[in-house]
Structure 1
Amino acid sequence: MNYKINKIELEENGYSILTDLYSQNEISEILACIENAEQVENSFMRTKDLFAIRQLITNVPELSDLLFNKKLTELISDLTESEYFLTKAIYFDKPSESNWFVAYHQDLSITVDQKVELENYVNWTFKKGQYGVQPPVQILEDTITIRIHLDKTDKNNGALKVIPKSHLNGIIRADSKDWNLENEFICEIEKGGAMLMKPLTLHASNRTTNRKKRRVIHLEFNKYRLPKPLAWLEYYNIKKPVYNHSY
């Protein structure tokens, strides 16, 4: 797996695709762990079109060792020149009969522990017991999103569509002429693969039409310490695994 190529693609195009981040056995263990999790009222959301778990590592801590395997920790290390840590983790299950779609957008919000009046921190929200805020654009530009695919995903079951290089235009207004859909690319991902993305990359997904599941774990990483007294709600320091070497 050539992480250097993925890093170049990510920086230039705003996204990159990996095919074999997790084995089939690892995916089965991850799914079993999620299915056996005790459901917490505010963090678990279930409708006919979507099942989601917010603050995934906080609510299902057993997942951390399964998710942060050797390949993922090496990937993060190779993508970044400084120490990155986890800032957000969400599990999405788009059921086979889902009629849910998402229009083109950028991911502009981070989750934090409290609401504080700070310069350049705007558009505050409070949903499901957690605060969200749009931070200074540099924090968004330096965020790395890794979407782990627990099912094979294609255009028929909600694969993300992206506009390559759109992350280079900063924050784009909904009525902007920068919403050029001619270059749209559909990110089809194998089971056990992953999609790397910059949050300012314009992305969307269609309804499911082939009655197949699309289960994804969405992870966001950053390197910035927020100005006190503000803190990342889901801060998680990535532990480097120790491997025994036999000679």
Structure 2
Amino acid sequence: MEDLEKNRQDLLDHGFNVINNIYSKEEINNIIDAINKVDTSKDTFRKTKDLFAIRQFLKEIPETISLIFTDNFRSLLQKMIGNNFFVVKSIYFDKPETSNWYVSYHQDLTISVDKKIEIENFGPWTTKHNQYAVQPTIDILENITAIRIHLDDTDENNGALKVIPKSHVKGIYRPEKINWDIETETTCSVKQGGVMLMKPLLLHSSKRTVNNKKRRVIHIEFSNVVLPTSLKWAERLNFN
């Protein structure tokens, strides 16, 4: 594994980092096999010609937990984000070989929770398939770290994320106000078995696929925040 202390500082300073060689080819194939065996007819599954997604991924396919949380991955988590964090969201994205799915620049501004209740400075709310999401206070968003596990080699030709370094420290940064006179853009290419770590407030986008190659990613978010009043994370999973 690479110099994790430097990678950790890069994550804090720039809002993202790429670390390859976290999983072996065999470990990736075992994860893919578990996904391929699942029933895709549930409400938490979204399937179109441009995208196949599984919300609450670790809940829907619990047999992947032991496959994902290997000793190597746990060591990465401990050194990059600490010991007292837990899973708060998990999504699987499969961008097919001929996908025209394009995502413009945005920040990830919502969290998944168990119910809708009135809390000061929380909102707006959305509901999809009985799943509740809300924009929380910014300190909660700043606390989250996302790790994207790549099941395929990914570059700018099959949907690697493009990011604006250091945009995660600028609060709510509306895409229409991006100042390209001072901002730069970086493409985060990741090898199969590698991971990309990022802060949700980092401005990021994804282009269409042009090389006829898949892009399959498991996106897992971690936090150590206890939500206010009786609100709870919808997908909390302790992995220690």
Equivalent position of 1:194 in the other structure: 195
- What stretches of structure 1 of length at least 5 have no aligned partner? 240-247
- What stretches of structure 2 of length at least 5 have no aligned partner? none
Tell me if the contact between 1:42 and 1:129 (Cα under 8 Å) persists in the aligned partners.
no
Equivalent position of 1:60 in the other structure: 61
Note closer, same or farther for the CA distance 1:177–1:94 as it changes in structure 2 (3 Å cut): closer
Tell me if the contact between 1:145 and 1:198 (Cα under 8 Å) persists in the aligned partners.
yes
Equivalent position of 1:92 in the other structure: 93
Secondary structure of 2:35's match? helix
- TM (normalized to structure 2)? 0.96
- TM (normalized to structure 1)? 0.94
Tell me if the contact between 1:163 and 1:201 (Cα under 8 Å) persists in the aligned partners.
yes
The one-letter amino acid of 2:71's match is K
Q: By how many angstroms is 1:173 displaced?
A: 2.2
Tell me if the contact between 1:172 and 1:178 (Cα under 8 Å) persists in the aligned partners.
no
Aligned length: 239
Tell me if the contact between 1:49 and 1:98 (Cα under 8 Å) persists in the aligned partners.
yes
Counterparts in 2 of 1:1-247, with a 5 A limit?
Answer: 1=1, 2-81=3-82, 83-178=84-179, 182-239=183-240
Tell me if the contact between 2:165 and 2:186 (Cα under 8 Å) persists in the aligned partners.
yes
Identity fraction in percent: 49
Q: By how many angstroms is 1:5 displaced?
A: 1.3
What is the CA–CA distance in structure 1 between the aligned matches of 2:84 and 2:15, rounded to whole Å?
A: 21
Secondary structure of 1:122's match? coil
The one-letter amino acid of 2:233's match is W
What is the CA–CA distance in structure 2 between the aligned matches of 1:230 and 1:55, rounded to whole Å?
A: 18
What is the CA–CA distance in structure 2 between the aligned matches of 1:147 and 1:157, rounded to whole Å?
A: 15
Secondary structure of 2:196's match? strand
What is the CA–CA distance in structure 2 between the aligned matches of 1:96 and 1:130, rounded to whole Å?
A: 29
Q: By how many angstroms is 1:199 displaced?
A: 0.4
Q: By how many angstroms is 1:179 displaced?
A: 5.9
What is the CA–CA distance in structure 1 between the aligned matches of 2:76 and 2:179, rounded to whole Å?
A: 31
Task: Supply the RMSD in Å over aligned alpha carbons.
Answer: 1.3
Q: By how many angstroms is 1:3 displaced?
A: 1.5
Residue by residue over 1:33-80, the C-alpha shift from the partner in whole angstroms, topping out at 9 and shown as x without a partner, is 000113352111100000001001111000100011111111111123
Residue by residue over 1:139-186, the C-alpha shift from the partner in whole angstroms, topping out at 9 and shown as x without a partner, is 111100000000000110000000000111011123324466851000
Tell me if the contact between 1:143 and 1:220 (Cα under 8 Å) persists in the aligned partners.
yes
Tell me if the contact between 1:163 and 1:180 (Cα under 8 Å) persists in the aligned partners.
no
